[in-house]
Amino acid sequence: MQTTPFSPLHPEAVLNCVEQASGRRLLNVCRPHSSYINRVYELQDEDGEFVIVKFFRPGRWSEMALLDELQFVNDCAEIEIPVIRPMPLADGSFLGDYQFVLRCILAVAAGWSMNIMMNSGWNWAGSWAGCITSVLPGPQREETGCTRNRQPAHKLILSSRTAWFQRP
């Protein structure tokens, strides 16, 4: 029988790993979600709250890259950009490992769909894109005026000549 990096991830192992890492008591619910690269499971704790655990394919990303991505998402959530922030593990970190497979835990939340035929959808997406630039690291970070109103960021993006924000 061939083994893969994800071979140890049977339901009991996933539940035990997340209980130990998060300090949460889980019910016997372990629903796999489709994911091309990683392994993703939906779990339920004793309080009825659902969480997602994502196991990253070994060797695809460095631990530093994953930590940077999770911190970026957390920084976005801090300025009220609607993202699903990683949940801190029991040790306070966002990323843990289980038999050399890195993983993070996320809350379950509904998404939104954008109507590309309506300007309001593009305005909304553009205002969030403007806010995201305020949490980018390094010299590409610009003052966008990202506030609770988000109108200045929206105007910056809509007035931009950047092709990937222009409406088709």
151 with 74, same domain?
Answer: no
Cβ(57)–Cβ(29) below 8 Å: no
pLDDT at residue 142 greater than cutoff 70: no
Lowest mean pLDDT among 55-59, 107-111, 142-146: 142-146
Q: Which domain holds residue 145?
A: 119-165
Q: Whole-model pTM above 0.75?
A: no
Residue 155's pLDDT band, with cuts at 50, 70 and 90, is: low
CA–CA gap between residue 43 and residue 132 (Å, rounded):
30
- Position 76 in a domain: yes
Q: What is the mean pLDDT of residues 127-133?
A: 77
Residue with tokens 């409406």: 167
More confident residue, 81 or 140: 81
Place of tokens 């924000």: 165
Other C-beta atoms lying within 10 Å of the C-beta of residue 97: 14
Give a yes or no: residue 5 inside a domain.
no
Number of compact structural domains in the chain: 2
Element (H, E) at 45: strand 39-45
Closest-CA residue to 100 (of 37, 17, 36): 17
- Say what the pLDDT of residue 26 is: 94
Closest CA to 61 of 49, 70, 74, 50: 70
- pLDDT on residue 137: 63
C-alpha torsion sign, points 73, 57, 111, 109:
negative
